[in-house]
Amino acid sequence: MRKLLSALAVALAVACAIDGAAQQPEKGYWRAASHTAASVTGDITISGSKITINFKNFLISPVRSLKPEEVSAAFDEALDTARQGWLYRLNIPASQRISSRNTLCGNEETDWMATYVAGNTLKVVFFTGDNAPVMTFEALQNSTSVCGSYTYVR
């Protein structure tokens, strides 16, 4: 009985670890792949509680998963191939210079980050504003809170 309980505990731990990794695949080290990412952020690392941008650490907090239609709108992905993304809350001051004296959101704080992983590619969009961004095509097209989008690879 003891062996059975131990085996069940190990199986449950492995299942939870796999489920957690599948839920937030953006965790880990990412190399800047787009010109914008290379010039503004450089490489990044995302963990459960922080993002490291150009050797500077910032706290992040996962808010919710993004539905495929939200991923499609935010990252210009085809709806039939879009999968789950994530929305994070963060606070990067407007005065924080990242790389080459660039900031993420100009003269405003960076308050939100949306992420989406497709294969070995990570796409990130940063937002400003007190309220969570509305992730629809129309809202994002008319939004003044979108700061920029970046692409990274493993």
Q: What is the pLDDT of residue 23?
A: 61
Residue 8 located in a structural domain: no
Has residue 17 got a pLDDT over 50?
no
CATH of the domain at 116: 2.40.128
Residue 3 located in a structural domain: no
Residue with more model confidence, 7 or 43: 43
pTM over 0.85: no
pLDDT digits (tens, 9 = 90+) for 86-106: 999 999 999 998 877 889 999
Task: Tell me the pLDDT of the chain averaged across its residues.
Answer: 85
Has residue 8 got a pLDDT over 70?
no
Q: What is the pLDDT of residue 94?
A: 92
Q: What is the pLDDT of residue 78?
A: 84
Q: Could you identify the residue written with the tokens 């069940």?
A: 8
Tokens of 57: 């650490």
Residue 34 located in a structural domain: yes
Residue 16 located in a structural domain: no
* Number of structural domains in the chain: 1
Q: Quickly state the pLDDT bin for 132 (edges 50, 70, 90).
A: very high
Residue-range definition of the domain harbouring residue 77: 26-153
